[in-house]
């Protein structure tokens, strides 16, 4: 592709290269540069791509794209924003695949994964649609599943994935859009047909510093979409509404909105409510327990309303949806009269939501097993300690993913937030032993919530990922006890 065509839409400050140059490849990792290729130097947080320009040139790069003017006499293009330039160049390179599909983005602290998977199911059962999905747990092209390492891929990989979806015949793309992806321009140049906001609670403050900055990062999604869906019950609803530049639909589980839930019923087997949109009322049933399931269902129904799908059809499709792995997932416990649930809750609000939801249908004691990740926002640790102890009959505080931190240091941070005089908790650093302890003391009608790992099948300790599937831990322990 000609350099001139690759640069369409990019804010260029200077060009010190031949625009007729035929570019053979695009890379932002100097180790992946091909002869005759373009190297986009990104000034990242861990390292500055500009330091690797000599390496890229030795590998055969024919032009450098950078936001820092090179001192050497080399072929370069000076751009205003290197990350945004990479995103736009990637869109040009892959011939803008997103433009040929209906794009749907969901953002928020909690509920994104469940909502995207539920929405994929509804779209496939109400439309002649093939749906691509991009999310925390996995990426999917129809029924094909591909692993993922971050919620939203880097812009070049994202555009490559869009291209695969387009070429495979996808009509719709449903994706989680993280605050990092918006701030770091991973979704730069992408326009969404519908965007939705689930909720906003404390998370990623090590990156955004303040809740307002975190909120404003997510609000950006509603400046690059045609229609939006906002959760009116969230404290940041008005800030989202003021910052949006699209046609909005509001949802609520507390009172009237454009789309709202009336006559809500919660049970261990799932939830039901009446969805109200204007004068239309439709019964909604979903076999996934928890009050937050009501909100996820409203998010999905709000998006389908914005897409013009009849409420009756969308509600009927939800009734056939299955639960999401690692989201209030019931683990088989044959021969036991207690219940074990696995949930990905790893934020204060996430933990509060899952424990509060389980309390709605728990007939016995609520036993929680939770921790906090290392190398992540330490501010939330004491908050999660307080929530876990206050909302559980017994809390077992343990390791999550310590990563490169000392596990015991993380546990001390968590315990710093415990209510004065609290005696309904134990600290067991080894997560497997903590799960065993919870199962040892489980009694009839108790519910044990294993929070934090969810769909993950590993535990990262000292920077090494060790296999740990909590479903296997439960099954193995029950098997050894027989």
* 143 within some domain: yes
Q: How many CA atoms are closer than 13 Å to the CA of 260, on its beta-carbon side?
A: 14
161 and 253 within one domain: yes
Q: CATH number for the domain including 400? A: 3.90.190.20
DSSP letter (8 states) at residue 97: G
CA-CA distance, 13 to 69, in Å (whole number)?
Answer: 10
Instruction: Tell me how far apart the alpha carbons of residues 159 and 165 are, in angstroms, rounded to a whole number.
Output: 10
DSSP secondary structure letters along 23-84:
---EESSGGG--TT-EEE--B-SS-BGGGGHHHHHHTT-SEEEESS--SSS--EEEES-HHH
> Do residues 303 and 178 share a domain?
yes
- Looking at 73, 93, 113, the residue that finishes a domain is 93
The stretches in the chain having pLDDT less than 70 are 150-151, 202-209, 481-482
Residues 325-352: b if buried by 16+ CB within 10 A, e if exposed: ebbbbebebeebebbbbbbbbbbbbbbb
In a domain, 121, yes or no: yes
Q: Are 468 and 353 found together in one domain?
A: yes
Q: What is the CATH number of the domain that holds 286?
A: 3.40.1190.10
Nearest to 384 by CA among 345, 326, 358, 357: 345
- Residue 314 pairs with which residues in a beta bridge? none
> In this structure, is residue 69 part of a structural domain?
yes
Q: What phi, psi does 441 have (nearest 5°)?
A: -100, 0
**Same domain for 38 and 182?**
no
- Residue 79 sits in the same domain as residue 21: yes
Please, what is the angle between helix 291-306 and helix 311-318, to 10°? 140
Same domain, 459 and 426: yes
Whether residues 147 and 223 fall in one domain? yes
Nearest to 189 by CA among 11, 29, 67: 11
Residue 252 neighbours by CB distance under 10 Å: 20
Residue 375 in any domain: the answer is yes
410 CB contacts (<8 Å, ≥6 apart)? 371, 372, 373, 374, 381, 399, 400, 402
What is the number of domains present in the chain? 3
In the DSSP assignment, the letter for residue 460 is E
Q: Indicate the residue among 93, 125, 143 that finishes a domain.
A: 93
Residue 389 shares a structural domain with residue 430: yes
CATH of residue 46: 3.40.1390.10
Q: Which of 275, 291, 318 is the last residue before a domain boundary? A: 318
Q: Between 407-415 and 380-390, two packed helices, what is the crossing angle to 10 degrees?
A: 60
Cα dihedral 36/42/48/52 (nearest 10): 0
β-pairing verdict for 102-107 and 339-343: unpaired
Q: Are 44 and 186 in contact (CB under 8 A)?
A: no
What's the pLDDT score for residue 203? Answer: 61
> The domain containing residue 363 runs over which residues?
329-481
Tell me whether residue 323 is in a domain. no
CA atoms of 37 and 17, how far apart (whole Å): 13
Q: Return the residue matching tokens 């990623």.
A: 204
Q: Give SS3 for 10.
A: coil
The pLDDT, as a whole number, for residue 180 is 87
The DSSP secondary structure of 276-296, one letter per residue, reads: EETTEEEEEEES--SHHHHHH
Encoded tokens for 241: 């509404």
Q: Are residues 143 and 201 in the same domain?
A: yes
Q: Is the same domain home to 293 and 171?
A: yes
- Residues 127 and 218 both lie in one domain: yes
pLDDT reported for residue 481: 65
* Distance of alpha carbon 200 from alpha carbon 108, whole angstroms: 6
pLDDT at 148 (0 to 100)? 79
Instruction: Please tell me the distance from the alpha carbon of residue 295 to that of residue 106, in angstroms, as a whole number.
Output: 13
Q: Is residue 324 part of a domain?
A: no
Together in a domain, 201 and 264 = yes
Q: Residue 252 pairs with which residues in a beta bridge?
A: 260
How far is 176 from 136, CA to CA, in rounded Å? Answer: 7
Q: How far apart are CA 251 and CA 432, in angstroms?
A: 40
């Amino acid at each position: 592709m000609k350099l001139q065509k690759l640069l369409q839409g990019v804010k260029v400050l200077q060009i010190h290269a031949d625009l007729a140059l035929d570019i053979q490849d695009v890379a932002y990792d100097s180790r992946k540069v091909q002869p005759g290729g373009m190297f986009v130097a990104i000034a990242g947080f861990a390292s500055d791509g500009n330091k690797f320009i000599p390496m890229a040139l030795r590998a055969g790069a024919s032009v450098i794209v950078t936001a820092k003017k090179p001192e050497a006499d080399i072929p370069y293009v000076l751009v205003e924003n290197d990350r945004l330039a990479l995103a736009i160049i990637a869109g040009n390179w892959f011939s803008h695949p997103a433009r040929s599909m209906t794009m749907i983005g969901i953002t928020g602290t909690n509920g994104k994964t469940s909502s995207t998977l539920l929405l994929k199911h509804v779209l496939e059962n109400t439309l002649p649609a093939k749906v691509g999905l991009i999310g925390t747990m996995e990426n999917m092209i129809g029924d094909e599943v591909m692993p993922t390492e971050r919620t939203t891929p880097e812009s070049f990989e994202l555009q490559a994935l869009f291209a695969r979806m387009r070429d495979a015949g996808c009509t719709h793309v449903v994706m989680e859009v993280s605050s990092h992806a918006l701030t770091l321009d991973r979704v730069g140049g992408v326009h969404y047909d519908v965007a939705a906001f689930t909720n906003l609670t404390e998370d990623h403050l090590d990156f955004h510093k303040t809740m307002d900055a975190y909120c404003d990062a997510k609000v950006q999604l509603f400046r690059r979409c045609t229609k939006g869906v906002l959760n009116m019950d969230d404290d940041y609803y008005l800030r989202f509404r003021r910052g949006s530049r699209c046609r909005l639909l509001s949802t609520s589980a507390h009172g009237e909105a454009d789309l709202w839930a009336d006559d809500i019923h919660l049970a261990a087997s799932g939830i039901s409510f009446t969805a109200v949109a204007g004068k239309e009322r439709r019964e909604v049933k979903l076999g996934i327990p928890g009050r937050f399931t009501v909100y996820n269902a409203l998010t999905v129904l709000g998006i389908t309303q914005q897409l013009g799908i009849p409420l009756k059809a969308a509600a009927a499709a939800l009734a056939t949806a299955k639960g999401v792995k690692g989201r209030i997932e019931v683990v088989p416990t044959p021969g036991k009269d207690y219940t074990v649930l696995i949930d990905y809750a790893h934020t204060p609000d996430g933990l509060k939501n899952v424990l509060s939801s389980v309390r709605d249908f728990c007939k016995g004691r609520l036993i929680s097993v939770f921790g906090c990740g290392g190398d992540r926002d330490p501010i939330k640790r004491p908050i999660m300690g307080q929530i876990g102890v206050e909302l559980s009959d017994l809390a077992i505080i343990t390791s999550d993913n310590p990563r490169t931190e000392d596990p015991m240091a993380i546990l001390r941070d968590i315990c710093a937030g415990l209510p004065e005089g609290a005696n309904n908790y134990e600290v067991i650093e080894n997560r497997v032993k903590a799960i065993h302890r919870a199962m040892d003391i489980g009694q009839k009608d108790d519910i044990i919530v294993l929070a934090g790992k969810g769909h993950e099948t590993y535990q990262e300790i000292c920077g090494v990922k060790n296999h740990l599937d909590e479903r296997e831990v439960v099954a193995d322990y029950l098997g050894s006890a027989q």
